[in-house]
């Protein structure tokens, strides 16, 4: 059919093997009682559930603050973000980036990298410098304030 006059072959993507991925990068303040053991449980559950949902990403936790990059099918990521927003272990959730594009996965496996509080401060300060949404500005300042408010082992305790 495409060899007939007047028909053009449809353009093919550069690499038809690449998936259409939706990604979200967010940070949040840990709720009361969230400690290293609880974060380990979150990662364990994620490692069991994410392969069937085709979700991959990286989770960092330090100083009572979560920082996560997740990628996968749009509907699965939207459902996961709805669950995170309803999860009492997360407060002051700030979406730092959301896009959908055809590309390779940045994180082919669900990994968890722990970073120290200074690295999280740098990431949050960079986000604050570029934030346009006033709600995000307020939440980022509240998270940074919690990071600066005392011993790191007290962060994530209580509701502010």
- What pLDDT does 139 receive? 80
Establish if 132 belongs to a structural domain.
yes
Q: What is the pLDDT averaged over residues 136-147?
A: 81
Q: Judge whether 100 and 21 are in contact, CB under 8 Å.
A: yes
Q: Judge whether 155 and 66 are in contact, CB under 8 Å.
A: no
Establish if 108 belongs to a structural domain.
yes
Establish if 158 belongs to a structural domain.
no
Which class for 76: exposed (0-12), middle (13-18), buried (19 or more C-beta within 10 A)? middle
pLDDT tens sequence across 91-109: 999 998 899 988 888 777 6
pLDDT tens sequence across 66-84: 988 899 999 999 999 999 9
Which residues constitute the domain of residue 114? 20-147
Establish if 103 belongs to a structural domain.
yes
Distance CA 42, CA 59 (A): 10
Establish if 7 belongs to a structural domain.
no
Count structural domains, the chain: 1
Establish if 70 belongs to a structural domain.
yes
Helix (H) or strand (E) holding 66: strand 65-72
- What pLDDT does 154 receive? 43
Establish if 26 belongs to a structural domain.
yes
Establish if 159 belongs to a structural domain.
no
Q: For the domain that residue 107 is a member of, what is the CATH number? A: 3.30.70.100
Q: Judge whether 98 and 23 are in contact, CB under 8 Å.
A: yes
pLDDT tens sequence across 16-44: 678 899 999 999 999 999 998 999 899 88
> Between residues 23 and 3, which one has the greater pLDDT?
23
């Amino acid at each position: 059919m495409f060899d007939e006059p007047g028909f053009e072959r449809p353009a093919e993507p550069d690499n038809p093997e690449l998936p259409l991925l939706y990604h979200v990068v967010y940070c949040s303040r840990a709720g009361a009682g969230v400690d290293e053991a609880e974060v380990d449980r979150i990662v364990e559950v994620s490692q069991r559930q994410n392969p069937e949902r085709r979700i991959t990403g990286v989770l960092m936790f330090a100083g009572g603050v979560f920082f996560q990059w997740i990628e996968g099918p749009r509907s699965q990521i939207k459902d996961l973000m709805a669950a995170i927003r309803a999860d009492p272990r997360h407060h002051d959730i700030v979406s730092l980036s959301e896009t959908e594009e055809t590309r390779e996965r940045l994180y082919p496996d669900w990994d968890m990298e722990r970073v120290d509080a200074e690295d999280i401060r740098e990431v949050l300060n960079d986000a604050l410098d570029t934030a346009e949404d006033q709600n995000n500005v307020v939440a980022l300042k509240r998270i940074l304030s919690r990071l600066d408010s005392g011993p790191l082992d007290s962060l994530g305790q209580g509701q502010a």
